[in-house]
Amino acid sequence: MSTDALRLRPPHHRVDRRAVWWWTTRSLLVTVVLTAVPVVPALIWEPVRFWFLLAGGVIGGVGLLITVVMPLWRFRVHRWEVTDTAVYTSSGWLWQEWRVAPMSRIQTVDTARGPLQRAFGLSSVTVTTASAAGPIEIAGLAHGLATEVADRLTDSTQAIPGDAT
């Protein structure tokens, strides 16, 4: 067992650098769809063309600004660490969150890979605990590392007696 005290602290490991491209692509796709919502009717309906194109321009501009800033900011903030006693995470970009989950409170460990994550070779690990704060997600890990983390957490939680409630 580690002698580290179980306390809220910054985790040590960054997510995979490819997460920047994953977040960028995801944000760009959302921006394109949201921009198209007012632009498509503007191309069809003459009386409101100016206002709909203006709305599309504003949405597109804000979306592109977010697409440029958010992924790099998130990469600076998102960190994770698994010790013998707990899982530590920090995440977010505008609203940032630090979480610590003791091994004894972990109920389930899951991995997930959406289509974009697969394209970038990434996965997410979700740790569900007996907490009202909800699950802890470590998003943007290399797929192999995510599998190793999930296996380690599963082995560690099985070794701890109790029912994680």
Query: What CATH topology corresponds to 79-159?
Result: PH-domain like (2.30.29)
CA–CA gap between residue 63 and residue 32 (Å, rounded): 8
Q: What is the pLDDT, as a whole number, of residue 46? A: 87
Q: What is the pLDDT, as a whole number, of residue 85? A: 87
Say if residue 6's pLDDT is above 70.
no
Q: What is the pLDDT, as a whole number, of residue 161? A: 65
Say if residue 117's pLDDT is above 80.
yes
pLDDT 10s digits, 30-86:
999 999 999 999 988 888 899 999 999 999 999 999 999 999 999 999 999 999 889
Task: Say what the pTM is.
Answer: 0.84
